[in-house]
Every structure is written in C-alpha cells, then in structure tokens.
Structure 1
Amino acid sequence: MSILKRLPFVSLVLLLLTYTTLGWVISKTYAPAPWFIWLLAVIAILVVLAGLTISWRRLTEYSFVLFKSNLKSFSITVLAAFLFFLMIAQFRVFLDTLVIIAAAVLGKIDFQTAGFTDGQAFCFLSIFSLTGLALGALIHKLI
C-alpha cells in the first residue's frame, strides 16, 4: 500500500493548523521575533514530539532513573507543584498548550493505527509541525 494512502490527513491538517496558530502568536507577540525565540520554539516542539513518539518501555527506564533517590523524588515533586501553580496562574497559555499537545497525540495515535514506526511518525509529525510554525509566521508577516 502506498504511503500516501496510509497517511492520516485529517490529524495532519489539524496539527498543521494548531502549529500555524502557534507561529502566528509567536510572530505577533514578539513583533520582529528574535532568532533565539524561534530556536527555543523549534527545540520545544521537537522535544514534545520525541516524548510522544518514544516507546513506553524506554519511558519507564528513564522514569526509574528520576526516582532512584529521595532528593530526585523531592525535586520532581517540587517542580510538579510549581508547574501546577503556573498552570493555574496562566490558564489561557495552558489551554493553548493543551490543544497543541492534543493535536500531536491525535497524530501519533493515527500514525500508530496506520502501522507506521515510531521513527516515521516522529519525522512526519516534526515536518508538519515545523511547517505549520513557519507558515504561521509567514502569514503574519504577509498580512
């Protein structure tokens, strides 16, 4: 079967639209956005997508390293409490982030259902996410 027939176009379009919105917001908020803001956004996108496409077995191996000592467990707990505070304090930003992550999760599930490997899913999700980010910045610049 052709790879184009197996692609989940609905979730990819949704992913493209959400990241286009993110690119628009970054471009609008930081009028001429500095290069390090874009670099930070790209790195954050790739880290989130890598975290979503990593296998659960590897994720459990990494989590065991984090909780081996009491100091690490305490630090993770304090960090989680601080992130929860930020979530409540900046609820609008949290909702926008939640929509972006939900679109990426939907894409991951659709790729997994279509029989793609984790690496292929990461590549397609990364391409569409970064294209959407650039498209949002370009649309804001043109309008």
Structure 2
Amino acid sequence: MSIVTKIPWIALGLLLLSYSTLGWALSDIQAPLFVWLVVVLSLLLLVGTLTAPYSTLAKYSSILLGSNTKTFVATILGAFLFFMMLAWFRVFLDTLLIISSAILARIDFQSAGFKEGQAFMVTSVFSIAGVGLGGIIHTVVVQQLWW
C-alpha cells in the first residue's frame, strides 16, 4: 500500500481547518510577529506532546507530581485554568477544537502504523500551514486585496 493512501487525509483536513481559524483570529486582531512565533512554538509543543510516547509523558508527569508542593502548585494552576475556562468560554471552545483535532490526527496516524517522528512531522507541517493559511485568507477576504 502506498504511503499516500495510508495518510489520514480527513483528520489532516480537519486539523488544517481548525488551525486556520486560529490563523484567522490572529490576523483579525493584527497580532505582532512575536505573537505569531509564540503560537507556532506552542503548537509545535502541543503536537510534540501528543506524538510523544506515553512512557515519556508518564516520566515527566511523575516529575511534576513528585512532591506535595509540586502537587499543590499543579492543583492551584488547574483551578486557575478552570476559572479561565469559565471566564473565556469562547476561547476555551476554540482551544478545545484545536486540541481535539490534533488528538484525532494522532490517533489516525497511530492506527495507520506511522512512527512518532513521522506523525510529528506531518502534523506539524499541516498545523503551521493551517495557521498561515488562516492568516492569508483573512488578509485576502477582509482587506479585499484581489478585488
């Protein structure tokens, strides 16, 4: 079977669309360049976290929750994030959409038999392309560069 037929195109299409909404929103608020760079780095971190082997995640989570103080700080941070989720529900839903589309792509790549590195590369390329595509489409449509 060819590698082109093994790639989960539907999941990657959904990933591209969900990240393009993020690019559209960034372009809409006219975010400076460093915000775009922070978003790209954080999406690479998200994709890397999702494509990492679970044993690696278990090792880092045991470091994070290794003592009572670290567990307390993680609990306070979780409560703060829950408050932010309720306060900015629209932003939370957009973030949840992006994370769930990345998880779907990860599951499809895993079931298709791709290695973690291959899944990371393809998902990263589609994620960055989605953010860029959303920004370009916003610029073309809203500022009417073509007509």
Q: With structure 1 as the length reference, what TM-score do the two structures score?
A: 0.96
Corresponding letter in the other structure for 1:75:
V
* Cα drift, residue 66 of structure 1: 1.0
Tell me how far 1:69 sits from its aligned partner. Answer: 1.5
- Separation in 1, partners of 2:68, 2:104: 35
Q: How far apart are residue 141 of structure 1 and its match? A: 1.2
Residue aligning to 1:79: 77
Report the Cα offset of residue 71 of structure 1: 1.1
Matched pairs, number: 141
What is the CA–CA distance in structure 2 between the aligned matches of 1:136 and 1:105, rounded to whole Å? 20
- Residue matched to 1:88: 86
TM-score by length of 2: 0.93
2:117 counterpart residue number: 119
- Matches of 1:37 and 1:72, distance apart in 2: 29
Q: Following superposition of structure 1 onto structure 2, how do residues 27-106 of structure 1 map, counting pairs within 5 Å? A: 27-30=27-30, 33-106=31-104
Task: Select 1:109's aligned residue among 104, 107, 110.
Answer: 107
Query: Identity of paired residues, percent?
Result: 51
Q: Aligned partners of 2:88 and 2:121: how far apart in 1?
A: 31
Q: Distance in 2 between matches of 1:68 and 1:114?
A: 35
Residue of structure 2 in register with 1:136 after alignment: 134
Tell me, in whole angstroms, the C-alpha distance in 2 between the residues paired with 1:81 and 1:68. Answer: 19
Q: Which runs of 5+ in 1 are unaligned?
A: none
Hey, what does 2:145 align to over in structure 1?
Answer: none
Aligned partner of 1:5: which letter? Answer: T
Q: Which residue of 2 aligns with 1:13?
A: 13
Once superposed, which parts of structure 1, at least 4 consecutive aligned residues long, lie more than 6 Å away? Answer: none
Partner Cα separation in structure 2 for residue 95 and residue 9 of structure 1 = 24
Q: What is the aligned-residue RMSD (CA, Å)?
A: 0.8
For structure 2, the residue ranges without an aligned partner over 5 or more in a row are: 142-147
* Structure 1 residues 58-95: Cα deviation after superposition (integer angstroms, max 9, x where no partner): 11111111111111111111101100110111111001
